[in-house]
Amino acid sequence: MPDLENRIAEWRARMMAALPQREEAVAELEEHLREHLAGLRLQGKSDDEALALAQERLGDPQAVAREFGRMPHAWRPGLILLPALGLMLAFLLGVTLLNWSQRMPVTPLQVVFHGVYIVGYFGVLGSGLIATSAFVTTWWRPLHERERCAVRRLLKKLTWLAVVLLPLGIALGIVWRAQFLPNQWTQWSYLLRLVGAIVSTALLFLAQSRPTMNERRVWLTAIFASFVLFFSAFGPSIRLANIPVAWLCLVFLLGQVFLILPRFRIVRVR
């Protein structure tokens, strides 16, 4: 039945075009179409007749989209949070480079390394922020389908940003530091921070790449990843009741690992 599947795929594409940001609704409508189709074929209708009848019963995609259009406006988590984070990190980058310029000449490699690293950083911290706001919102109301789709899309984009740019930034940083810190490889705390950042980002990417993973686990993985990076970058400047920041980062890293394990489920008891 490849022809039937192709025609259902075409129908799905038309529905997706009419209902962007409503992947779940389209999946539901497709399930409905298929069930009706199966029933009609059992009644003896041909594939063509059954599909035409089922599509007619479901209605024109534009008409369905108009009905969905009466739904309340979606919450947009990234509209304020991400620009605010971006501004903050840009400010931090500026201050860092200004600081360095007072001690030594600022090289293009230094600017590129810091820029790439900060953008990768933005990816992880941004994911954590979006995931936190989604998590907090679900404590007092469920997210609408469009909101869930918006969160999922944002997290995917930010994770890709982090996965590509953070390791690149780290690599450029190592090259830059090698110029004036030839024995950086003996500084185990520095290396541990780098490894922790990369592992945490990789775990975040792994969580994101599993479509069947529970949403709350993906959000928590993003939150923990942002904690790991935050504490590994600013840890030496923070005093937390004499708790070594490395242990804190390790706890969050282990948390990410447990979240990704398939049997670990977060259930909210109402």
Residue 103 phi, psi dihedral angles, 5° rounding:
-100, -30
CB of 21 to other proteins, least distance (A): 12
Q: In terms of CB distance, is 64 or 197 closer to other proteins? A: 64
Dihedral (CA of 44, 49, 52, 53) sign: negative
Round to whole Å and give the CA distance between 213 and 209. Answer: 9
Choices 35-43, 88-96, 231-239, 261-269 (CB under 8 A): range interacting with other proteins = 35-43
Choices 137-145, 158-166, 237-245, 257-265 (CB under 8 A): range interacting with other proteins = 137-145
Helix, strand, or coil (residue 155): helix
Site for other proteins, residues 1 to 20, rule: CB under 8 A = none
The gap from C-alpha 42 to its chain's centroid, in whole angstroms, comes to: 43
CB of 44 to other proteins, least distance (A): 19
Given candidates 40, 50, 51, 64, which one binds other proteins under the rule CB under 8 A?
Answer: 64
Which DSSP symbol is given to 22? -
Round to whole Å and give the CA distance between 76 and 69. Answer: 16
What mask, x for binding other proteins by CB under 8 A, covers residues 72 to 91? Answer: x-------------------
Given candidates 57, 76, 153, 210, which one binds other proteins under the rule CB under 8 A?
Answer: 57
Element (H, E) at 204: helix 188-208
Nearest residue to 225 via CA among 260, 185, 268, 269: 260
* Site residues, other proteins (CB under 8 A): 24-25, 27-29, 31-32, 34-36, 38, 57-59, 61, 63-64, 67-68, 70-72, 141-142, 144-145
